[in-house]
Amino acid sequence: MERRSKITPILLLAPAILIFVFIFVAPFIYLIFQSFWHYETSYVSKQVFTLENYIKLFSDPYYWRIYWRTFRLSVISTLITMILAYPISRMISRMPPGKKGLVTTLIALPMIGGGMIQAMGWMTMMMPYGAINGILLSLGIIKEKMTFLGTETGILIGLVQSFIPLMSLPLIASLGAIDPTLEDASKSLGASPLRTFFEIILPLSIPGAVSGMVLTFMANLTMYVTPSILGQGKIQVFGSFVYQQAISVGNWPFSSAFSLFFLLIMGVTAFLSSWITKSIQKSIYKGNEA
């Protein structure tokens, strides 16, 4: 379609660009400035240049432990999410269109319902007399009540469940795009189902798996509702600490520095992980050709 007017697209894009610049970009820029200002008292900072917030961040290992805990929980959660999301994505990707849509909607429900509702559901189950302990005790799997609320295990159970949809949706798309005749060919040539999976399906699904893992990992790093509800305030992670510093304490300069440095780590991690997976994928293809 030939369109000569240059004004039209600008007019169509203007409202979106304006609101993004003023509401999305500007706060990040303001955050950078704030991180170099001096904290006077709650919600008030003095606009003089200082490095004190960053010095505080680097000098106290307490903050590093929060980063590390967040990072560690996110890695574990992302890996478990991957392991659980893969088989269901594979199953859904081979369903006929109508059924596929319905089951996709079913597994997307945690995402649609939002983190708060999921956390509430888990909270009722994780109470000392709740469903998890009740079922495990009656089945004889455990002898004494277990504690889930306020533990990392409890948080992980909730996080994995909430983030399976995020991992699954790109995976379903990329698994569904694999030509089924490839599998048939592999099978008719005598390859076992396992061999077909490892040499055909898995390599071809890597792009979807990677984008799902990056999305899930990022979401895990900034988790906030789930850890503060299921962690009962006992387990401090990045998101809950920022909320505490910014809303309860009101130390905006320090919480800004704390967040910006984390953002930097996130960016580096995302870049490295996508680079590593790309090279792994390349080596798999080369191995197959040889």
The distance of closest approach from Cβ of residue 47 to another protein in the complex, given in angstroms and rounded to an integer, is 10
- Binding another protein by CB under 8 A: which of 54, 69, 203, 222? 222
The distance of closest approach from Cβ of residue 285 to another protein in the complex, given in angstroms and rounded to an integer, is 25
Q: Which is nearer to another protein, 52 or 261 (CB)?
A: 261
C-alpha to C-alpha distance for 43 and 253, rounded to whole angstroms: 9
- Binding another protein by CB under 8 A: which of 57, 67, 93, 165? 165
**Which region, judged by CB under 8 A, interacts with another protein, from 87-95, 175-183, 198-206, 279-287?**
87-95
Tell me the H-state helices in 47-151.
52-59, 61-93, 97-126, 131-138
Q: How many residues of this chain interact with another protein, rule: CB under 8 A?
A: 88
The distance of closest approach from Cβ of residue 251 to another protein in the complex, given in angstroms and rounded to an integer, is 11
The distance of closest approach from Cβ of residue 60 to another protein in the complex, given in angstroms and rounded to an integer, is 20
**Which region, judged by CB under 8 A, interacts with another protein, from 28-36, 177-185, 271-279, 282-290?**
28-36
> 181, 101 in Cβ contact below 8 A?
no
Q: Which is nearer to another protein, 20 or 285 (CB)?
A: 20
Interface pattern 57-76 for another protein (x via CB under 8 A): --------------------
**Which region, judged by CB under 8 A, interacts with another protein, from 4-12, 54-62, 71-79, 274-282?**
4-12
> 50, 37 in Cβ contact below 8 A?
yes
Instruction: Specify the length of the chain in residues.
Output: 290
| Strands of the chain, DSSP E | 38-41, 44-46
C-alpha to C-alpha distance for 29 and 75, rounded to whole angstroms: 29
The distance of closest approach from Cβ of residue 190 to another protein in the complex, given in angstroms and rounded to an integer, is 14
Q: At what angle do helices 97-126 and 152-176 cross, to 10 degrees?
A: 180
Token output for 80: 């478990």
The distance of closest approach from Cβ of residue 3 to another protein in the complex, given in angstroms and rounded to an integer, is 6
Looking only at residues 112 through 151 of this chain, which bind another protein when binding is defined by CB under 8 A? 112-125, 127, 129-131, 133-135
C-alpha to C-alpha distance for 129 and 239, rounded to whole angstroms: 29
Burial of 130 (0-12, 13-18, 19+ CB in 10 A): middle
CA-based nearest residue to 266, from 219, 229, 224: 219
- Binding another protein by CB under 8 A: which of 79, 249, 263, 284? 263
Interface pattern 170-209 for another protein (x via CB under 8 A): -----------------------x----------------
CA 236 to each of CA 10, 29, 201, 277: distance values in angstroms, whole numbers, following the listed order: 45, 26, 39, 30
